[in-house]
Chain A
Amino acid sequence: MTPLLSLRHVSKTFGSGPRAVRAVRDVSFDVSRGECLAVVGESGSGKTTLANMILGVFGQSSGEIRFDGRALPSRRTLEHRSAIQLVQQNPLSSLNPKRSVGASIRLGLDVFGIGRRSDRWRLVENALEEVGLPGDFRRRAPAALSGGQCQRVAIARALACQPRLVILDEPTSALDVLVQARVLRLLDGLRRTKGLSYVFITHDLSVVRNVADRVAVFRSGELVECAETGAIFENPRADYTRRLIGAVPVITDHELKLRESLSGGLPA
């Protein structure tokens, strides 16, 4: 079966001449249907540039991005836009403070013509209920919601567009740990029930360990290592991956032992 998303030799250069910045360099990987691929890297690794290219915010400089077996055009069709959705890091800034939560969710339904016009508020309420919020939250302003609730709304907005692939850009790193745990469980459950694929961008390897099927490690725009999650945490190949694992703060002795054995005495 063809993978849902497939990148082949994708590069992105900003600017030109001696001041050009090569943000992404010759990157190739696949995301299968129903799979969660974690994209891991620190600042400047190119992970956000990568997300923006998949979303069509800007095109790639070279290489090819294929979705469902066909090359994605630089000007996306409505179908592509609705099929690839985004959940951003900062839940407060990703919702317009001056519009109701419902209006933000409904925008996608209107643009993509999902459902009948008279039905759409009901669809908005369904989307809210799917992420564990009461339907009448649609009348609320984002300021009246907690950070975790805002992030649920952002997830509802993405789901309402009936996507097949969701780009999760650090979806829990702005949240408190208790809220993070609930949002992670919600995302995991939605992926299974709806057969979604995720590109899960994060710098937090302990999150990756528990939600991802495969991991792609990026550094300075290059793909350092890409393997099954189990393999990455049992036998990391790249020194950089070992260093990342060595820097993860842990809370149990069990984890500490694992971390020490994996980072292999490398300085953190």
Chain B
Amino acid sequence: MRRTTVILLRNPLSMLGVVLVAAVVISAALADYIAPFPEHRGAVVDFVHFNQGPTARNVMGTDLVGRDLFSRILYAFRISLLLGVVVLAIATPIGTFVGLLAGYLGGRAEFALMRLTDVFLSIPPLVLAIAMMGVLEPTLLNAMLAVTAMWWPWYARLVYNITRSEREEGYVLAAEVIGASTLHVTFREILPNCLPAIITKMTLDMGFVIIIASSLSFLGLGVQPPTPDLGSMVAEGARYLPDSWWLTVFPGLAILVAVFGFNLIGDALREILGADQ
């Protein structure tokens, strides 16, 4: 772990990833203190300063009802991160559990679990989420549910493949010969060997979840106004391009920074943890 940290900080690209992600996390956490207009996260109207480009007062300009874009982007990071964390916190354990059992038990359990996974994988992810959101109310919670439903099968596949190859290793036979339970073999023996790959994928996925969630709200199916969300901000501003460019460019850049940061760290982890195996 210590070695991982050292290598992560030594490589300039992964260092950039750490800086970007740290910036996003800190601005989300301390939005109340950093934001020049914390009250602009909600339904506030300021007709004096509406639809203005970047100025000294509003560094990223204001939106159509005069709210400070910079403040709203800081709060939008909160929603994005929350969504990413919650989605992965639910999808990863489900996928891991399914993948471990299917990979280790084999036979009928494998057939049933992996075909179920294939059903989910065969539907294009955004289509599945849109269909779910069409049935459900478009709220933050439901957006999380929809994204989770399309995310866990990828973890099931990943963990299944690793488990299939680890199952052939001598240490699994050794535990089986001693008579260790299925739960022990899967969770105590095999799972630790899957963790590097899972952690790497989670880091990479943080970025992708943010994009998918933004796409949903871009289509009006995710977080609803007045809650600030990067995707809906881009969608709203897109109608006023190119004149009011700041309405789309700054939220767009914010998405880019967050996704890029997580991807850089994910790539670095893949190299470090992959080399460990």
A245 to B45, CA, bound (A): 95
Nearest CB in chain B: distance from A72 CB, A: 14
A88 to B176, CA, bound (A): 13
B179 in the interface (beta carbon within 8 A): yes
List B170-214 residues whose CB lies under 8 Å from chain A: 170-171, 173-180, 184, 188-189, 192-193, 195
A88 to B175, CA, bound (A): 12
With contacts A96-B189, A97-B193, A104-B171 known, is A86 near B177, CB below 8 A?
A: yes
> Judging by beta carbons under 8 Å apart, are B176 and A96 in contact?
no
Q: Of A85, A111, A154, A157, which is in contact with the most chain B CB atoms at under 10 Å from its CB?
A: A111
Q: In this complex, what residue of A is CB-closest to B178?
A: A108
A94 to B277, CA, bound (A): 15
> Judging by beta carbons under 8 Å apart, are A107 and B177 in contact?
no
With contacts A96-B189, A98-B192 known, is A57 near B174, CB below 8 A?
A: no
B169 in the interface (beta carbon within 8 A): yes
Number of B residues contacting the other chain (C-beta, 8 Å)?
18
A93 in the interface (beta carbon within 8 A): yes
Q: Of A85, A98, A104, A112, which is in contact with the most chain B CB atoms at under 10 Å from its CB?
A: A98
List A81-103 residues whose CB lies under 8 Å from chain B: 81, 85-86, 88-90, 93-99
A96 to B173, CA, bound (A): 11
> Judging by beta carbons under 8 Å apart, are B170 and A90 in contact?
yes
Question: With a CB–CB cut-off of 8 A, which chain B residues contact A157?
Answer: 174
> Judging by beta carbons under 8 Å apart, are B175 and A107 in contact?
yes
With contacts A99-B189, A99-B192 known, is A94 near B177, CB below 8 A?
A: no
> Judging by beta carbons under 8 Å apart, are B193 and A81 in contact?
no
A78 to B177, CA, bound (A): 10
Contact among B173, B179, B189, B195 for A88, CB-based, below 8 A: B173
> Judging by beta carbons under 8 Å apart, are B189 and A81 in contact?
no
A157 to B171, CA, bound (A): 11
A56 to B184, CA, bound (A): 19
Question: With a CB–CB cut-off of 8 A, which chain B residues contact A31?
Answer: none
Question: With a CB–CB cut-off of 8 A, which chain B residues contact A223?
Answer: none
Q: Of A56, A107, A108, A161, which is in contact with the most chain B CB atoms at under 10 Å from its CB?
A: A107
Question: With a CB–CB cut-off of 8 A, which chain A residues contact B179?
Answer: 76, 78, 81, 111-112
With contacts A99-B189, A99-B192 known, is A93 near B177, CB below 8 A?
A: no
Contact among B169, B173, B174, B277 for A104, CB-based, below 8 A: B174
Bitwise interface map of B from 65 to 95 toward A, beta carbon under 8 Å scored 1, else 0: 0000000000000000000000000000000
Nearest CB in chain B: distance from A21 CB, A: 19
> Judging by beta carbons under 8 Å apart, are A85 and B193 in contact?
no
Nearest CB in chain A: distance from B113 CB, A: 23
> Judging by beta carbons under 8 Å apart, are B173 and A57 in contact?
yes
A205 in the interface (beta carbon within 8 A): no
Q: Of B175, B178, B195, which is in contact with the most chain A CB atoms at under 10 Å from its CB?
A: B178
Nearest CB in chain B: distance from A4 CB, A: 18
> Judging by beta carbons under 8 Å apart, are A93 and B178 in contact?
no
A57 to B178, CA, bound (A): 10
Question: With a CB–CB cut-off of 8 A, which chain A residues contact B180?
Answer: 107, 111
> Judging by beta carbons under 8 Å apart, are B192 and A88 in contact?
no
Contact among A56, A78, A81, A86 for B174, CB-based, below 8 A: A86
> Judging by beta carbons under 8 Å apart, are B175 and A93 in contact?
no
A55 in the interface (beta carbon within 8 A): yes
Question: With a CB–CB cut-off of 8 A, which chain A residues contact B178?
Answer: 81, 107-108, 111-112, 161
Nearest CB in chain B: distance from A75 CB, A: 10
Binding site for A on B (CB under 8 A): 169-171, 173-180, 184, 188-189, 192-193, 195, 277
Q: Which 8 interchain pairs have the tightest Cβ spacing?
A: A94-B170, A98-B192, A93-B170, A96-B171, A81-B179, A108-B178, A88-B170, A93-B169
Binding site for B on A (CB under 8 A): 55-57, 76, 78, 81, 85-86, 88-90, 93-99, 104, 107-108, 111-112, 154, 157, 161
